[in-house]
Amino acid sequence: MNQTRAASWSAFLVGLIAGPIAALLLVAAVGFHASVSGWAYAVGAAFTAAGLLSMPWRRRRGVTRAGLGLVLFVASARLLFAGGDALDTLRLPSGDRRLINRLVEERDGTLFAAHALLLTGQLPRSDARDFLPALDAAFNRLNAAEGPIATPAVATWLGLQSPEDFDTVMISPEGEKAPEAAVVALHGYAGNFAVYCWQLSRAAQAISALTLCPSVGPQGDWWSPQGEETLERTLTWLERRGIRRVYLAGLSNGGVGASVLAGKLSHPGIELRGLVLISGASRVAATPRVPVLLIQGQHDSMFPAHRMRAFAQRTGTLATTFEVNSGHFAFLDHAEECERAIASWLRERERAVGS
């Protein structure tokens, strides 16, 4: 009898911890347009917490088991089926896949984190005015095109990225011909997200290029030794696959890193054809020796437009600037305009290859 009572109270105490978490998940699912799996996780957690909080617990074990069963069912289904269509998430240089990246749909964690950052004042409202609806719309487009996907964000926030073993989002171009060109995109602060890589791949399709987005860690510090080595290993992997031309892109911190690393790349079998810097470039980077496209929001307070203009002025005739009426998240809230600008610039560069 004493053992039963102790087990009941232990379950109740666990429920006191699980209850607020389950409530938060349900609120997030309602407010942030959660995915089907996100809703299932939230409902499963709610049933589990309700069962644990019910007294006496032994009479409510069926509720707890139902909740845990739902959570396990959804996790198992995602492990089996979340992978994307043209989009794939690989571990380089091995080419394996990390199953843990399949457990959570990227939109759920990303939208939750974005709302939290905005509510706590860590994102300037002037920059994020259109960010959240644009992010939601981007995930809707991605889901319609790819279905459930694996995200490198999970492994990133678990600290699993290293130059010897890093997750990379890869999106192959349409058609059966093996691509000779690739767009390599460096992510920004908070880690690598498939949604940005997929959006950039829509522009890269204009030249039938492979899109590859490696991961360095939550800081997006590509200028560090770890970032430089990760990019070098990425290019080595591409060279072995027959890629001969690379366009190096970067978003925010990734743009800063791309502008710094462009002058350090040394792969005789790969030609660096140009840079695409989106909302970020280094003030101390060497002047680029290749054409540069700079995408920038005119009202960016996190990386002011005057810095990008100064970089463009220093680059001279090799620079092409494309500005939109937006803040730091121009690539999302002016997605179609930015995609068209990048696609047009890439086509011009590829036409120069054959001339």
In this structure, of 111-115, 241-245, 346-350, the range with the lowest mean pLDDT score is 111-115
Q: Reply yes or no on whether the pLDDT at 219 is more than 90.
A: yes
CA distance 37 to 78: 8
Cβ neighbours of residue 340 closer than 8 Å, sequence gap 6 or more: 203
What's the average model confidence in pLDDT over 149-163? 95
**Range with the lowest mean pLDDT among 14-18, 44-48, 150-154, 193-197?**
14-18
pLDDT value of position 1? 47
Cβ neighbours for 345, distance < 8 A, ≥ 6 positions apart: 274, 276, 293, 320
Of 59-63, 112-116, 141-145, 217-221, minimum mean pLDDT range: 59-63
Say if CB 15 and CB 56 are below 8 A apart.
Answer: no
Per-residue pLDDT band at 28 (split at 50, 70, 90): confident
- Residue 65's pLDDT is 87
Indicate the pLDDT class of residue 157, thresholds 50, 70 and 90.
Answer: very high
Q: What three-state secondary structure class fits 128?
A: helix
Residues 6+ apart with CB under 8 A from 135: 110, 111, 114, 195, 329, 332
User: Whole-angstrom distance between the N-terminal and C-terminal Cα of the chain?
Assistant: 87
pLDDT digit string, tens, across residues 69-110: 999 999 999 999 998 889 999 999 999 999 999 999 999 999
Beta partners for residue 214, in sequence order:
168
Instruction: Report the mean per-residue pLDDT for the chain.
Output: 91
SS3 content of the chain, % helix, strand, coil (to 5): 55, 15, 30
CATH top class, domain 87-354: alpha beta
Give per-residue pLDDT as tens, 297-306.
Answer: 999 999 999 9
| CA dist., res. 275 & res. 164, Å (int) | 25
Most confident of 17-31, 81-95, 170-184, 203-217: 203-217
**pLDDT tens profile 305-329:** 999 999 999 999 999 999 999 999 9
Q: How far apart are CA 283 and CA 27, in angstroms?
A: 42
Number of residues that this document lists for the chain: 355
Question: Is omega for the bond preceding 93 within 30 degrees of 0, making it cis?
Answer: yes
Give the Cα separation of 159 and 348 in Å (integer). Answer: 39
Q: Are 318 and 294 in contact (CB under 8 A)?
A: no
Q: Is 51 helix (H, G, I), strand (E, B) or coil?
A: helix
DSSP 303: S
Could you give the percent of the chain with pLDDT greater than 90? Answer: 74
Measured at the CA of 256, the angle between CA 253 and CA 259, to 5 degrees, comes to 150
From 123-127, 132-136, 285-289, 340-344, the region with the lowest mean pLDDT: 123-127
- Is 2's pLDDT higher than 60? no
Structural contact between residues 105 and 35, judged by C-beta atoms closer than 8 angstroms:
yes
pLDDT of residue 238: 96
Q: Are 82 and 133 contacting, i.e. CB atoms less than 8 angstroms apart?
A: no
Q: So where are the chain's domains?
A: 2-81, 87-354
Among 197, 192, 264, residue whose Cα is nearest residue 221: 192
Q: Can you tell me the distance from the alpha carbon of 187 to that of 257, in angstroms, rounded to the nearest whole number?
A: 9
- Reported as type and span, the H/E element at residue 90 is strand 87-92
